[in-house]
Structure 1
Amino acid sequence: MTPKQLEATIKQGQEIIDADLQGMDLRGLDLSGGLFINTNLSGADLTGAQINGSQFDGCRLAGATLDQADASHSTFHRGNASGVRMTGATLDNAAFHAVSLSDARFDEGEAGLLSFTSCDLSRASFSGLVSEMMVFHDTRLEGTCFADTLMHKTTFYQADLRTAVFDRARFVHTIFIESDLSGLVFRGQEFEGCQFTDANLSGCDFEAATLAQCNFKGARFEGASLRRVTAPQCVFVEARLEGVAFNGGNCMQSVWADARLAGADLSGAILEQCVFHRAHCKGTDFSSSQLAYADFSYADLSDAQFRDATLLRTRIHRALLEGTHFSDRGGLLLKDQALFDAEEVSARRPAHRDPPRKKASAEHFPNPIAPKDST
């Protein structure tokens, strides 16, 4: 089959099944809407080709070149496309499912929604890709490169990203649910409105990074560095932050309820209007931090250090204060009257009990069967 015959066959609406197009020169052809089944396109050159709306099921695309191709609304299902080049390609609403894409190149491409499910993207590159939304689900990402990429509304679900490359990447509304990013370096990088729910961030370096309005609920930070971060209005609820360095950071109006901060260093940090309800802060260093209107109600502040901290209407209602050091207690609110009144009302309120069950009357049960007379 010649390139022109291939183009004509697709325009007639015929399927391309079990065809051998290996190494064929298909540059600039209009193959849009084509249905390729078990077709060998290994090493083929589709530079600038139109394959928009096409389907590739069980095809081989290893080593193929699709630079500047229009692959919008195309689907790739199963098959081997390792080493495929799609540099500068248009990938709006393209979808890849169960495809081997190791060493693939998607650099400088453009995409609306781009999704990968159950794929192998080991050592693939997305450097400079511009997209509105990307989804990576159940996909291998060992050594995958996202350098210089705007990660806008990108979703990683249960992804192992420990060896991924994010140099100079920027993150806007990126989601890392239950993903492993341990040991990665994000120094000075920007995260806006990102979700790290139950993520593993152990050993990560976020020094001087911007983490505006990010959600770290249940995330693990053991051994991580967040020195001099700008992290206003973040959520650290139930996060594991034992021994973490936050010194010099700006975390104004952040929520730390039920967070584990034992031994953490928040010295010199801006923590105004932060909420630390029930937080575990045993031995935490708040020296020289700014804590105006912060709320430590019910927190464990045993052995915590507040030397030279700025305290202004700082609540410590029912907090544990054994061994806690304050240079000046003048700005502390030992008892929050509103909370105290609510506790008293709750204490007077009778405990909830299930309503007593009514005794079932005999009419609710069938009459017992009388025993037969044995005589």
Structure 2
Amino acid sequence: MTLLSREQVLHQISQGHSFYQAELSRIDLHDTNLDKAKFVEAYLKGANFSQSSCKEIDFTRANLIFAIFSETNLAQAQLYQTEFNGASLERVNLQEAAAEKANFNGTILKDVNAPLIQLKAANLSESQATNSNFSGADLNSVKFNKVNYNQVNFSGAQLFEAVGFAAQFTNVSLREANLGKAKFIQSIFIESDLTQASLISADFSKSNFSKVRLQQADLLEASFKSAQLTEVDLTEASLFDVDFEGATLSQVNLGNANLQEANLENTIWEEVNLAGADVTGAIFTNAQGLREEQKQWLQANGALNVS
């Protein structure tokens, strides 16, 4: 139950009042100026902030579960450990917001503009995002379990040690993003762009890549164990010591890629281009589907256990 009315809250804000641990659930603060207001640890379940200006607002450790944000400006907002579970964010500006360790579990993110947002160690599990921009964002150690993202821009973002189990990314840009040591197990990447991305020691075991661009990506010591790659472009990619054991590669372009010492045991090959690839020390034990001329070429160029 809200203890303060909308008018009382707005009046107190104009007087510089802080709402530390205030009980303000379901309060309607739509179409208001809340710039730099302080709601630290406030209880704002189901509150309405639609069409409000909330630039540099302080929601540190506030409870905003099921809150409504539509056309809200949260640029440079303080969102450390803020609870957004089940909240709706549509056409929201989160540019340069500080949301480390925030909880966005189950949130709906639509047309969100969040370049350079700080989301380190945040929880985005089971969230849904469409047509949103997280370019240059800090997403290190973020949880993406069971997310469903479509047309989202993560170009240049940092996703070091990010984790995503059964995540789905469609039409997503991760160009020049850093996914070093990230783990996306049993996940799906469709029609997405990871050109020149850094995926050093990343783990994509049992994941599905379809119509994905990975040109010039750095995949040193990454894992694609038991993964499915279909219409994937790995032209000039660095695949040194990558583990493809048990993977299926169909219509994959490995032209001029570096496959030195890669593990390709028990792989299945179909219409794969290896022209110009460096296969020195790559292991092909029990690889299936290679054409006879490909086998001869592999043997002549230093691949091991080709049969």
Is the aligned partner of 1:3 residue 2:1? no
TM-score (norm 2): 0.87
Give, in angstroms, the shift of residue 256 of structure 1.
1.1
Rounded Cα–Cα distance in structure 2 between residues aligned with 1:181 and 1:118: 16
2:132 pairs with 124, 132, 136, which one? 124
Match of 1:232 in 2: 240
Give, in angstroms, the shift of residue 307 of structure 1.
7.9
Match of 2:227 in 1: 219
Is the aligned partner of 1:253 residue 2:261? yes
Rounded Cα–Cα distance in structure 1 between residues aligned with 2:154 and 2:74: 20
Match of 1:178 in 2: 186
Rounded Cα–Cα distance in structure 2 between residues aligned with 1:165 and 1:69: 25
Is 1:178–1:200's contact at 8 Å kept on the other side of the alignment?
A: yes
Give, in angstroms, the shift of residue 184 of structure 1.
2.7
Rounded Cα–Cα distance in structure 1 between residues aligned with 2:64 and 2:30: 15
Q: Which amino acid aligns with 1:72?
A: Y
Match of 1:142 in 2: 150
Could you tell me which runs of 5 or more consecutive residues in structure 2 were left unpaired when the two chains were aligned: 1-7
Q: Which amino acid aligns with 1:259?
A: T
Match of 1:187 in 2: 195
Rounded Cα–Cα distance in structure 2 between residues aligned with 1:246 and 1:81: 40
Structure 1 residues 261, 124: closer, same or farther in 2, change over 3 A? same
Rounded Cα–Cα distance in structure 1 between residues aligned with 2:284 and 2:156: 36
Q: Greater Rg, structure 1 or structure 2?
A: 1
RMSD (Å), alpha carbons: 2.4
Rounded Cα–Cα distance in structure 2 between residues aligned with 1:268 and 1:100: 45
Rounded Cα–Cα distance in structure 2 between residues aligned with 1:307 and 1:14: 69
Rounded Cα–Cα distance in structure 1 between residues aligned with 2:107 and 2:196: 35
Rounded Cα–Cα distance in structure 2 between residues aligned with 1:154 and 1:81: 22
Rounded Cα–Cα distance in structure 2 between residues aligned with 1:47 and 1:126: 18
Match of 2:297 in 1: 306
Number of aligned positions between the proteins? 298
2:36 pairs with 28, 52, 63, which one? 28
Is 1:266–1:285's contact at 8 Å kept on the other side of the alignment?
A: no
SS of the aligned residue for 1:210 comes to coil
Give, in angstroms, the shift of residue 15 of structure 1.
0.9
Match of 2:114 in 1: 106
Rounded Cα–Cα distance in structure 2 between residues aligned with 1:119 and 1:106: 15
Match of 1:301 in 2: none
Match of 2:5 in 1: none
Rounded Cα–Cα distance in structure 2 between residues aligned with 1:307 and 1:164: 34
TM-score (norm 1): 0.72
Could you tell me which runs of 5 or more consecutive residues in structure 1 were left unpaired when the two chains were aligned: 287-303, 321-375
Give, in angstroms, the shift of residue 201 of structure 1.
1.7
Q: Which has the higher contact order (CA 8 A, sep 6+)?
A: 2
Rounded Cα–Cα distance in structure 2 between residues aligned with 1:191 and 1:138: 20
Rounded Cα–Cα distance in structure 2 between residues aligned with 1:78 and 1:63: 17
> What is the percentage of aligned positions where both structures have the same residue?
16
Is 2:246–2:266's contact at 8 Å kept on the other side of the alignment?
A: yes
Which shows bigger deviation, 240-249 or 120-129?
A: 240-249
SS of the aligned residue for 2:36 comes to coil
Is 1:264–1:284's contact at 8 Å kept on the other side of the alignment?
A: no
